[in-house]
């Protein structure tokens, strides 16, 4: 949400009027380009191939698990400390910091789930030009070259990745401010002195003196010029009317990575852009800086609400990843030696035997902090997911209800409205699990409170929902109204938990409530306090079935630079500059912790966040922010969520229907159909738009929407299993095709279709007036079954599918078994005990495999109490085997039906249960589609059994 | 509830069921369909799609596409379950609500296997419903009576109005005749007035001309003596040349040839010949003696436009401001331009005229005879204007009556009584005001101006009940949204009163309004009250 009501403070209204007026596109002028961000401009101006950095091999220290050595910048003699680790699971960590910084530089805490365990490194060879280290087995080596400094990671004879190969390593050391008269005098004197000194001794470490050595007489004019440049943006920077005082001066870090053989790179969300990242040579780099962008524009590299500094590189042989652990404003440049070439040009190269390998070069630039890079060496996509998961954790396992359908609107006006919408779902027989309340539910935008007139008896309302086995989410934003009658504000102020401005007072900015303070969520004690506010006796009117939505946590500051916080605001000793991108992560962390604590650690929390960082997957769900009711926005929801999934954040969705503007009926229906097959499925709408509950568009469209939502609910067992997998492995739920078909280049750039897990391929209709879609079905020697008609299609083909308004093209992979519950009820928890139907889709080998996962659906008991079974079909026997014999759980659910796709007609079917009893199962065979349906085998879903076709 | 109690309750229910005319039928089957479910005989799906053994009815597996084999379980996605609800209204629920842990049927029969602790509330509900139906019936009855009165009143009102209309039409004709007569009187009186006035004016003009001529002559003499530097009684080229302002082509050089030209081609003119010269130069001539004040000071009004105040913009990116102006309504801009134009033009006071009057004196008052004519004409005019005004008023009355008569006040004009009335509802923030067939508005309780929530549009109920909803449209525009509009939902009641106002969608209001005019004939309700009890 990013607009306002007419009843707001006049100043805000004026500002927003300006902000809102007319055009339906982002006002790009409100946000910086690289040129307007002085460090980015400075860094981007560096020329490749002129690296001043040299490794001082004599400083090398190699312990069992760690290599350290010093790097020196030959231009200014500032020394850096390089640390290199071999991490368990085929990763390498490279850390670079100043050897002796003037003051400590920020190292991002709390993102890694633990200090990554290391593996031994060994020295293979060494000479004056460099060293060669072994990265354990697999003939992996790191070659460290000394002059200029450079790292090459090799596997066999192939270079997998090179660091500083273009010489763009840059590390702006912390320094004294130069713009005082006394400094200038001393620096001139010092430079003369240094020059003299230099004649006698070359590399003695005297950091103070060395720093000034850059004023080398030989380069005097240039140095003078540089000093003038210093004044421009190094110590102060103004953007629009906002001045960033930079008391610490320049502090940017930068490093380049070369990826030979790579033409496809992915990740670094959040951008409203294609799945496959584009080269940035002719425009701005991709920007990572959490911002509340009003009416964001599609297909460009501008920053959005969240930032995950993780990039994946892929080719048919290997997948690798780079995790750049830095929470400051970051820009990522991508270039490629094949980017400009046409397919024909590439073919020509091939025919003519041109041996220029394709290569992608990536460069990361951050405003402050240190260089701390995790190089994930794959080699498969799933290896990279598990490597990244081992660093930052996996997707939080949500309560089952959160996987259902969410009905949201800014705003449901009052309790009667909530009751009426709830009743509307029953009247039209559409299931839903959560109804949401946006900011208007509060008492004057004071979070943790309720509007005394409109929501006078919240517990009654929540009880009413609970009686229907439904839940609610209420918004809690991190900006706190400055109001001495507001308990939350008073407590935060008295505990001095607010972020401070550069002068030491509490930072105040404009947001929904008017003047607001921003709690310092980077403080653990603040987060503990915040979590305690969710206790039932603190958060009045809250109940077990109330969960939380964190919005505006970039943080959004309406009157701040780029609608966010001033970079010179202070979080204790650190500047906001250092921690900006991790603020939203902490807000969600503290909120999720609060929800866990209020139930005594029993219940799984559900928290939705708009801002995020690496590791945010551990705390809940993410949505793509304030999109618009336009077909292009529907389309981009796919690559946006795919990109998030690739970097660990699986629980992703876009506002169904589009937040701004009003969708036409066709768009709304298509969006429901698409959203039903995306992990987070929530309809949402702006305050100023007409109502759009599913039954407001005539019976035909109500039926279409009902059908889409019901498809979601029938598949909940499969979705829930996917969440369980994501939680266990870090693999994305909604995944690009190349993740499963890494050797098929035809899949590398696909972004109009996707997989859910391994087994469902979805190609939603996202074109207005579509008569058909062309889906790519991957996999040579594979087959796919249309889940609606059971028609079989061969893999490795582009399949044209005629569509009507009711079509949602979805295919089940031959070789898979998918459990469904076809008795769709009011909400997910009404369906807990319902029986399963197993859809067994046979591959060409007439085998299939799948899993079944069952637990209580809402507590942390799943860690010990669950059912996890492997279902497999081979040799005409379908069997269920326990995958977790140590786990305890019993279910009333049973198997009511087994549908075998691609089957032949048996003469009889026998069921053998674990007590040894055999019984005959009735069946029905549809010869036209080769579908065998076993009628009511009836065994318990948690039991061992075999079904034999004879 | 303990299981013991449950059993007891079940027994009780069963006994109640049996004591009523309980007919054996599968769970969830309504009496009306009992004959299709015959114990022990094969069951044919109600859509005829297939036939199955009877033991597959309600065996918790869906065999029929239409769901008819599982009326009592949740097995079929499209099935429905019949609750008998003894003591209350029987009904169907989707079979997905069977055993979902939520009590849907008041007789608890939908939750026979979920462990949900449902209470049989049918008796209670039945009583309440009967009470409320009874109450409603009473209300409807009384309301319907009131409605009959309203219809009668409306009829009378309409007749009155039509009568009044006829009366007015007659009166109007008289008035029209009167206006015409007075117009003639007026015009007759105005003719002599006009002539007398013209005469008077002409006399004055002539007198003015004489005065003017004398003045001119005096001036000429004065000028002649001024020009005549050598006092020889004549003006020479040389003497003329000293007055460069007389340069005929005003090119800055006053040549002898030009001066000669002015003097009619001669070098010298005497006082008599000067008369013709004077006519050529009098407009340009500047007296030597008095340095007259130059041209009058321009009196155009300075355009006073304060710079737009932007006290607040400081805090925000100033680049945003122009955009606002750019985007904010082009129409307004046009209007502004026009206003600006008006603003710039000088006020219509003609100062030069006044000056002339001062120079030449004012026109003398009309003589008595003329004045009498004028007074008479004025009287005729006043009488005519008054008559015309009266006619206009009558016209308005006619128009209003026509409008009112032509309004759709319902099939029997039962809503006519709402016309020209207003009804208010006060909430915590606003006072809402509905003036039926006119407009709907909202006024903040604590200061602030009124907002138009829509003007009367049309009846907008469903086809079979078009008078159940009123639509008011084209209210004040909403920022970033549509124009405000209001839907009025009418329900039957004894009084005429606003019950509630809400804003379900931004700027789309919903008002609940009670009126006897919407009450239905009670007989139809009686049928509903008695016709639903199956048992």
Q: Do A240 and B315 touch (CB under 8 A)?
A: no
Distance CA B149, CA B155 (A): 9
Whole-angstrom distance, CA of residue A163 vs CA of residue A149: 9
Determine the average pLDDT of the residues in A206-214. 43
B83 CA to centre of own chain: 51
> What CA–CA distance (Å, rounded) separates A61 from A237?
40
What pLDDT is recorded for position A872?
98
Q: By percentage, how much of chain A surpasses pLDDT 90? A: 86
Q: Per-residue pLDDT for A206 more than 60?
A: no
Q: A690 in contact with B at a CB cutoff of 8 Å? A: yes
C-alpha to C-alpha distance for A869 and A550, rounded to whole angstroms? 36
**Hunting for tokens 């008017």 — which residue is that?**
A514
Mean per-residue pLDDT for A170-188? 71
Tens of pLDDT, residue by residue over A456-469, are 999 999 999 999 99
Q: Averaged over B207-222, what is the pLDDT?
A: 84
Instruction: List the single residue in A559, A691, A825 with the smallest CB-CB distance to B100.
Output: A825
Q: Is A356 on the interface with B (CB under 8 A)?
A: no
The b/e string for B104-141 (b: 16+ C-beta within 10 A; e otherwise) is: bbbbbbbbeebeeebebbbeebbeebeeebeebbebbb
Residues of B with CB under 8 A from a CB of A: 59-61, 74-75, 77, 94, 96-97, 100-102, 312-321, 323-324, 326-328, 428, 478-482, 502-508
* Chain B residue whose CA is closest to A12: B312
DSSP classification of residue B169: H
Q: Chain A residues with CB inside 8 Å of B321's CB?
A: 18
Confidence at A816, pLDDT banded by 50, 70, 90: very high
Answer with the residue of higher pLDDT: A899 or B207.
A899
Q: Which of B505, B507, B512 to mutate to test the interface with A (most CBs of A within 10 A)?
A: B505
| Residue tagged 């780079």 (tokens) | A322
- What confidence tier does A202 reach under pLDDT thresholds 50, 70, 90? very low
pLDDT of residue B291: 47
Q: Is the pLDDT of residue B156 over 70?
A: yes
Looking at beta carbons, which residues of chain A come within 8 Å of B50? none
Structure tokens at B209: 């001309």
- Cβ distance A22 to B320 less than 8 Å, yes or no, reads no
Write down the pLDDT at residue B420. Answer: 85
Q: Report CB contact under 8 Å: B102, A688.
A: no
Give A428 to chain B, closest Cα distance, Å. Answer: 10
What's the pLDDT tens digit per position in A293-347?
A: 999 999 999 999 999 999 999 999 999 999 999 999 999 999 998 765 555 555 5
Residue A947 has pLDDT above 50, yes or no: yes
With contacts defined as CB-CB under 8 Å, which chain A residues touch B100? 469, 825-826, 830-831
Q: Model confidence over B234-273: pLDDT tens digits?
A: 777 777 777 777 777 777 777 777 777 777 777 777 777 7
- State pTM to two decimals: 0.81
What's residue A352's pLDDT? 61
Cross-chain Cβ contact B428/A453 below 8 Å: yes
Contact residues on chain B for A23, CB-CB shorter than 8 A:
323, 327
Give tens-digit pLDDT for A108-117: 999 999 999 9
Kindly determine whether residue A15 and residue B504, on different chains, have CB atoms separated by under 8 Å: no
Catalytic residues of A: 551, 626
Residue that wins the pLDDT comparison between B132 and B481: B132
> Nearest residue on chain A to B96, judged by CA atoms?
A825
Q: Which residue does chain A place closest to B429, by CA atoms? A: A453
Contact B427, B412 (CB under 8 A): no
Q: What is the mean pLDDT of residues A179-185?
A: 53
What average pLDDT does the segment A459-483 reach?
98
Put simply, the answer to whether A15 touches B503 (Cβ < 8 Å) is no
Residues 890-929 of A with CB under 8 A from B: 896-897
Nearest of A180, A155, A149, A175 to residue A76 by alpha carbon:
A175
Query: What pLDDT, in 10s, does the model give residues A76-127?
Result: 999 999 999 999 999 999 999 999 999 999 999 999 999 999 999 999 999 9
CA distance A320 to chain B (A): 42
Q: How many CB pairs under 8 A join A and B?
A: 111
Sign of CA dihedral B56, B62, B65, B71: positive
Q: Take residue B316 and report the two structure tokens written for it.
A: 């925000």
Residue B480 with chain A: CB contacts under 8 Å: 3, 20, 688
Shortest Cα–Cα distance, B123 to chain A (Å): 22
A429 to B316: CB separation less than 8 angstroms, yes or no: no
Q: What is the DSSP string of B39-96?
A: TTSPEEPTTSS-EE-GGGTTSSS--STTSTT-TTSS-STT-EEEE--TTS--EEEEGG
**A168-177, A640-649, A716-725, B340-349: least confident range:** B340-349
Q: What is the ipTM of this complex?
A: 0.88
pLDDT digits (tens, 9 = 90+) for A244-274: 999 999 999 999 999 999 999 999 999 999 9
Is residue B327's pLDDT more than 60?
no
- Residue in A21, A559, A936 closest to B61 by CB: A936
pLDDT beyond 50 at A209: no
Which of B61, B101, B478 comes nearest A469 by C-beta?
A: B101
| Cβ pair A192, A164 in contact under 8 A | no
Q: What integer pLDDT is reported at residue B397 of this predicted model? A: 85
Given CB atoms, is A21 within the 8 Å cutoff of chain B? yes
Per-residue pLDDT reduced to its tens digit, B185-201? 888 888 888 888 888 88
A691 touches chain B (CB under 8 A): yes
pLDDT given at position A217? 41
Q: Which pLDDT value is given to residue B321? A: 40
For the ranges A625-639, A910-924, B17-31, which has the lowest average pLDDT?
A: B17-31
Backbone angles phi, psi at A683, to 5 degrees: -90, 140
Reported as a single tens digit per residue, the pLDDT across B441-454 is: 999 988 889 999 99
> Tell me, what's the pLDDT at A479?
98
Residues 509-548 of A with CB under 8 A from B: 510
Q: Are the CB atoms for A835 and B90 separated by under 8 Å?
A: no
pLDDT at A15 over 80: no
Q: How far is B333 from chain A (nearest CA, A)?
A: 15
pLDDT band at A794 (very low <50, low <70, confident <90, very high): very high
Q: Across residues A813-828, what is the average pLDDT?
A: 98
A942 Cβ contact list (under 8 Å, min separation 6): A854, A867, A869, A889, A890, A891, A893
Where helices occur in A608-695 by DSSP H, the ranges are 631-646, 665-675
pLDDT value at A4 more than 50: no
The pLDDT assigned to A354 comes to 57
Q: How far is A261 from chain B (nearest CA, A)?
A: 46
Cβ of A826 and B102 within 8 Å? Answer: yes
Q: In chain B, which residues have their Cβ closer than 8 Å to the Cβ of A14?
A: 312-313, 316
Q: Nearest chain A residue to B448 by CA: give it.
A: A7
Q: From the CA of B521, how many Å to the nearest CA of chain A?
A: 29
User: How does pLDDT run across A342-376, given as a tens digit for each residue?
Assistant: 555 555 555 565 567 899 999 999 999 999 999 99
Most B CBs within 10 Å, among A3, A4, A13, A21, to test the B interface:
A21
CB contact residues (below 8 A), chain A span 809-848, against chain B:
822-826, 830-831, 834
| pLDDT tens track for B284-320 | 777 665 544 444 444 444 444 444 444 443 444 444 4
Distance from CA of A562 to the nearest CA of B (A): 9
Q: Which of A399-403, A422-426, A864-868, B31-35 has the lowest mean pLDDT?
A: B31-35
Residue B340 confidence (pLDDT) above 60: no
* Residue B318 distance to chain A (closest CA, Å): 7
Rounded Cα distance between A726 and A812, Å, is 19
Note whether A854 contacts B: Cβ–Cβ < 8 A: no
Q: Is the pLDDT of residue B395 over 70?
A: yes
Provide the pLDDT confidence category of residue A759 given band limits of 50, 70 and 90: very high
B-facing residues of A in 216-255 (CB < 8 A) are: 240-241
Name the pLDDT band for B55 (thresholds 50, 70, 90): very high
> Largest alpha-carbon pair distance within chain A?
100
Whole-number mean pLDDT of chain A? 92
Q: Which of A14, A413, A454, A692 to mutate to test the interface with B (most CBs of B within 10 A)?
A: A14
């Amino acid at each position: 949400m990013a607009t306002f009501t007419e009843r707001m403070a006049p100043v805000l209204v004026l500002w927003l009027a300006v902000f809102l007026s007319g055009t339906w596109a982002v006002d790009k002028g409100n946000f910086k380009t690289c040129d307007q961000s002085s460090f980015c401009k400075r860094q981007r101006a560096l020329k490749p191939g002129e690296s001043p950095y040299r490794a001082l091999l004599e400083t090398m220290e190699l312990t069992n698990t760690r290599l350290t050595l010093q790097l020196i910048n030959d231009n200014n003699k500032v020394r850096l400390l390089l640390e290199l680790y071999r991490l368990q699971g085929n990763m390498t960590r490279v850390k670079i910091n100043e050897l002796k910084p003037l003051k400590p530089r920020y190292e991002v805490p709390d993102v890694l789930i633990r200090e990554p365990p290391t593996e031994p490194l060994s020295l293979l060879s060494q000479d004056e030009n460099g060293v060669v280290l072994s990265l354990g087995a697999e003939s992996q080596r790191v070659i460290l070259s000394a002059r200029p400094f450079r790292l090459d990671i090799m596997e066999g004879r192939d270079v997998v990745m090179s660091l500083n190969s273009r010489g763009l390593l840059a590390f702006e050391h912390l320094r004294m401010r130069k713009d005082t008269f006394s400094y200038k005098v001393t620096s001139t004197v010092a430079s003369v002195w240094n020059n003299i000194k230099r004649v006698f001794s070359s590399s003695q470490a005297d950091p103070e003196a060395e720093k000034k050595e850059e004023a080398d007489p030989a380069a005097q004019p240039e140095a003078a010029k540089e000093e003038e440049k210093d004044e421009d943006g190094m110590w102060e920077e103004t953007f629009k009317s906002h001045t960033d005082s930079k008391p610490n001066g320049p502090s940017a870090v930068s490093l380049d990575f070369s990826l030979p053989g790579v033409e496809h790179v992915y990740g670094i969300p959040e951008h409203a852009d294609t799945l496959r990242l584009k080269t940035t040579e002719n425009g701005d780099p991709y920007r990572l800086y959490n911002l509340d962008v009003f009416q964001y524009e599609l297909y460009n590299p501008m920053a959005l609400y969240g930032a995950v500094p993780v990039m994946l590189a892929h080719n048919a042989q290997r997948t690798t990843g780079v995790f750049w652990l830095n929470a400051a404003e970051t820009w990522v440049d991508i270039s490629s030696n094949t980017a400009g070439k046409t397919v024909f040009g590439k073919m020509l190269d091939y025919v003519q035997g041109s041996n220029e390998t394709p290569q992608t070069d990536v460069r990361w630039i951050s405003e402050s902090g240190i260089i701390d890079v995790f190089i994930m060496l794959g080699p498969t996509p799933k290896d990279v997911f598990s490597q990244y998961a081992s660093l930052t954790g996996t997707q939080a396992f949500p309560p089952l209800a959160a996987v259902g359908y969410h009905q949201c609107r800014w705003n449901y006006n009052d309790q009667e409205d909530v009751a009426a919408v709830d009743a509307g779902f029953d009247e039209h027989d559409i299931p839903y699990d959560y109804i949401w309340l946006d900011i208007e539910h509060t008492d004057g935008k004071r979070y943790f409170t309720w509007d005394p007139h409109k929501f006078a008896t919240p517990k009654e309302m929540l009880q009413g929902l609970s009686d229907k086995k439904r839940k609610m989410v209420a918004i809690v934003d991190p900006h706190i109204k400055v109001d001495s009658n507001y308990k939350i504000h008073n407590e935060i102020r008295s505990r001095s938990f607010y972020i401070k401005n550069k002068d030491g007072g509490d930072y105040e900015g404009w947001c929904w409530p008017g003047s607001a303070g921003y709690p310092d969520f980077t403080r653990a004690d603040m987060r503990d306090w915040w979590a305690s506010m969710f206790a039932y006796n603190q958060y009045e009117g809250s109940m077990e079935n109330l969960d939380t939505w964190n919005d505006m946590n970039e943080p959004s500051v309406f009157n701040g630079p780029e609608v966010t916080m001033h970079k010179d605001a202070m979080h204790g000793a650190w500047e906001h500059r250092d921690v900006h991108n991790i603020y939203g992560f902490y807000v969600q962390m503290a909120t999720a912790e609060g929800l866990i604590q209020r139930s005594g650690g029993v219940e799984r929390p559900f928290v939705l966040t708009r801002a995020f960082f690496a590791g945010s997957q551990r705390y809940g769900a993410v949505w793509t922010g304030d999109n618009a009711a336009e077909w292009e926005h529907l389309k981009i929801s796919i690559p946006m969520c795919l990109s998030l999934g690739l970097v660990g954040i699986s629980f992703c969705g876009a506002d169904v229907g589009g937040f701004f503007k009003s969708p036409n009926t066709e768009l709304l229906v298509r969006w429901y159909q698409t959203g039903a097959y995306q992990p987070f499925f929530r309809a949402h709408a702006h305050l100023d738009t007409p109502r759009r509950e599913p039954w407001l568009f005539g019976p035909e469209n109500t039926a279409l929407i009902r059908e889409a939502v019901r498809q979601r609910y029938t598949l909940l067992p499969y979705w829930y299993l996917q969440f369980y997998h994501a939680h266990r492995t870090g693999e994305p739920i909604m995944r690009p095709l190349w993740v499963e078909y890494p050797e098929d280049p035809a899949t590398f750039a696909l972004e109009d279709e996707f997989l859910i897990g391994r087994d469902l391929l979805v190609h939603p209709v996202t074109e207005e007036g579509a008569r058909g879609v062309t889906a790519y079905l991957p996999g040579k020697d594979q087959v796919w079954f249309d889940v609606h008609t059971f028609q079989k299609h061969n893999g490795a083909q582009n399949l044209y599918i005629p569509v009507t308004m009711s079509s949602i093209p979805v295919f089940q992979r031959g070789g898979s078994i998918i459990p469904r519950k076809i008795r769709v009820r009011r909400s997910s928890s009404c369906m807990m005990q319902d029986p399963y139907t197993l859809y067994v889709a046979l591959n060409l080998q007439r085998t299939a495999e799948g899993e079944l996962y069952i637990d209580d659906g809402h507590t942390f008991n799943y860690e010990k109490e669950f059912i996890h079974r492997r279902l497999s079909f081979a040799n005409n026997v379908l069997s269920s085997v326990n995958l977790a014999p140590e786990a305890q759980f019993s279910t009333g659910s049973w198997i009511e039906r087994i549908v075998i796709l691609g089957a032949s007609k048996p003469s009889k079917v026998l069921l053998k249960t674990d007590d040894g009893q055999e019984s005959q199962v009735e069946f029905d065979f549809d010869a036209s589609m080769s579908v065998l349906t076993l009628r009511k085998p009836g065994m318990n879903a948690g039991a061992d059994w075999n079904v034999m076709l004879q | 509830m303990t299981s013991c109690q449950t059993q007891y309750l079940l027994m009780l229910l069963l006994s109640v069921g049996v004591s009523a005319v309980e007919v054996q039928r599968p769970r969830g089957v309504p009496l009306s369909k009992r004959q299709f479910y015959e114990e022990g005989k094969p069951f044919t799906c109600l859509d005829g799609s297939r036939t199955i053994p009877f033991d597959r009815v309600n065996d918790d597996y869906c065999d029929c596409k239409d769901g008819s084999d599982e009326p009592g379980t949740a097995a079929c996605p499209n099935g429905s379950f019949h609750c008998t609800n003894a003591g209350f209204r029987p009904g169907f629920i989707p079979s997905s609500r069977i055993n979902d842990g939520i009590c849907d049927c008041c007789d608890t029969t939908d939750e026979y296997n979920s462990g949900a602790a449902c209470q049989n509330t049918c008796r209670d509900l039945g009583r309440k419903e009967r009470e409320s139906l009874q109450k409603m019936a009473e209300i409807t009855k009384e309301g319907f009576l009131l409605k009959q009165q309203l219809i009668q009143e409306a009829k009378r009102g309409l007749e009155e109005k039509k009568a009044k209309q006829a009366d007015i039409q007659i009166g109007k004709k008289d008035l029209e005749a009167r206006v015409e007569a007075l117009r003639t009187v007026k015009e007759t009186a105005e003719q002599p007035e006009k002539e007398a006035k013209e005469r008077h004016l002409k006399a004055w003009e002539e007198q003015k001309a004489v005065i003017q001529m004398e003045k001119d002559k005096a001036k000429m003499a004065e000028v002649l003596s001024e020009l005549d530097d050598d006092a020889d009684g004549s003006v020479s080229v040389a003497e003329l040349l000293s007055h460069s302002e007389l340069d005929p082509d005003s090119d800055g050089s006053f040549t002898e040839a030009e001066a000669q030209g002015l003097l009619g081609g001669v070098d010298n003119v005497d006082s008599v010949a000067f008369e013709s010269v004077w006519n050529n130069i009098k407009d340009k001539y500047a007296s030597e003696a008095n340095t007259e004040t130059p041209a009058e000071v321009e009196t155009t009004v300075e355009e006073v436009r304060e710079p737009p105040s932007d006290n607040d913009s400081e805090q925000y990116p100033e680049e945003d401001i122009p955009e606002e102006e750019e985007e904010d309504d082009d129409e307004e801009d046009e209007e502004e331009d026009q206003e600006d134009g008006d603003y710039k033009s000088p006020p219509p006071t003609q100062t030069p005229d006044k000056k002339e009057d001062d120079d030449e004196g004012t026109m003398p008052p009309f003589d008595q005879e003329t004045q009498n004519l004028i007074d008479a004409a004025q009287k005729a005019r006043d009488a005519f204007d008054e008559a015309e005004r009266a006619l206009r008023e009558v016209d308005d009355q006619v128009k209003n009556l026509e409008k009112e008569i032509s309004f759709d006040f319902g099939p029997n004009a039962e809503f006519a009584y709402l016309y020209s009335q207003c009804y208010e509802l006060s909430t915590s923030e606003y006072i809402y005001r509905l003036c039926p067939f006119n407009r709907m508005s909202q006024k903040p309780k604590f200061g602030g101006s009124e907002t138009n929530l829509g003007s009367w549009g049309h009846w907008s109920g469903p086809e079979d009940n078009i008078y159940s909803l009123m639509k008011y449209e084209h209210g004040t525009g909403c920022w970033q949204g549509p124009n405000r509009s209001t839907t009025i939902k009418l329900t039957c009641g004894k009084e005429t009163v606003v019950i509630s106002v809400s804003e379900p969608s931004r700027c789309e209001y919903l008002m609940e309004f009670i009126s006897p005019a919407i009450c239905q004939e009670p007989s139809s309700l009686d049928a509903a009250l008695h016709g639903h009890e199956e048992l």
